[in-house]
Amino acid sequence: MKKIFYLLMIISLASCCKNKNEGTHEEKKDSIVVDPNNLNVSILIDLSDRIDPGTNPNPTMQYFQRDTEYIKAIEKGFSSHIKSKKIITYDDQMQVFFNPEPSDPKINDFTKSLKVSFNKNTPRDYFDSVDKKYSQLPLNIYQSAIKDGKYVGSDIWEFFKNKVNDYCIKQDKRNILFILTDGYMYHENTRFEEKKDNKQRTSYLTTKLIKANNLTASDFKEVIEKNGYGFVKANEDLSNLEVIVLGINPEKGNPFEEGVIKEYWENWFKDMKIKKYQIKSADLPSNLEPVILKIITGK
């Protein structure tokens, strides 16, 4: 009888210890510590015909050239931030995305080379390698896309729906996504409308839609609110992602077009619980570089 009693006691203690350890494991898994000094920077590039110097020329500075300078500024801010830390704390990464991927294999190879990461074992001369890559490869990407002439567009809505969580968000880092686009959103594979709860949402935004919705006067915000115009929500909760849109470039003819574009994007970000975001026009890189550096480094 005593042997049975002792055996039951041992089984009971073992079970308690197991449950205790499992609980500790669960707590550890759920308690991810975010270090704002560790950066995860992503760049999503819109390779639509907006970059075509023939279709959208700008004598001051072509838009594809502005993009490449924006990218250099992003890399400069990223590297400056890392250099300000102690080597033992290095745990940062940066990458470039397109959606969909270009058909040109050379562009995809360039993209792979632009995926860089730093850790405590990274040699100091790696910074020079990254600087060189980001000074040369982005221009090669744009030149290849322009030469190819088959502008596949950019499915930004689908990227936020199906890819942003996996590609751009690390739970223990400060996540920043830069989007280089003119602000219009359209892709033939993701074009739909959704009407419910007195809201008229779309997965796209074109100058034709802006005109059709009568968003051509100073009361465009009231019209948007009254009719529930905007983008269809693509994600439920992106509160751990910061988004910076660079290159807003409205078509001429409607003085309120830029305001409409920014209103669409702002409302979309709010719907997806994005707390930190900025939307900047296609200004000269010399004007935007200080803004980009401040966003990344906080200085």
- Nearest-angstrom CA–CA distance, 228 and 264: 11
- Nearest-angstrom CA–CA distance, 115 and 96: 7
- DSSP state letter for 156: H
Q: Which of 60, 267, 269 is nearest to 179 (CA)?
A: 269
- Indicate the Cα dihedral angle 93, 96, 99, 102, nearest 10°: -140
Mean of pLDDT values over 193-208: 95
Token readout for 175 is 């996540």
**pLDDT greater than 50 at residue 9:** no
- Whole-angstrom CA distances from 288 to 84, 112, 245, 285, 295 are 22, 26, 12, 5, 11
32 pLDDT band (50/70/90 cuts)?
low
22 pLDDT band (50/70/90 cuts)?
very low
Q: Which of 119, 102, 120 is nearest to 111 (CA)?
A: 102
| Pair 94, 112: CB distance under 8 Å | no
Q: Which of 231, 242, 238 is nearest to 264 (CA)?
A: 231
Question: Pairing state of beta strands 116-119 and 173-180?
Answer: unpaired
**pLDDT greater than 60 at residue 297:** yes
- The region of weakest confidence among 2-16, 46-60, 122-136, 211-225 is 2-16
**pLDDT greater than 60 at residue 92:** yes
Token readout for 268 is 């979309």
**pLDDT greater than 60 at residue 123:** yes
Q: Write down the residue that tokens 């009407």 correspond to.
A: 195
Mean of pLDDT values over 18-46: 68
pLDDT number for residue 27: 41
- Domain residue spans of the chain: 1-31, 37-297
The three-point CA angle 122-128-131 to 5° equals 110
The CATH number of domain 37-297, selected from 3.40.50, 3.30.70, 3.30.870, 1.10.287: 3.40.50
- Nearest-angstrom CA–CA distance, 262 and 248: 8
Calculate what percentage of the chain has a pLDDT beyond 90: 80
pLDDT number for residue 33: 72
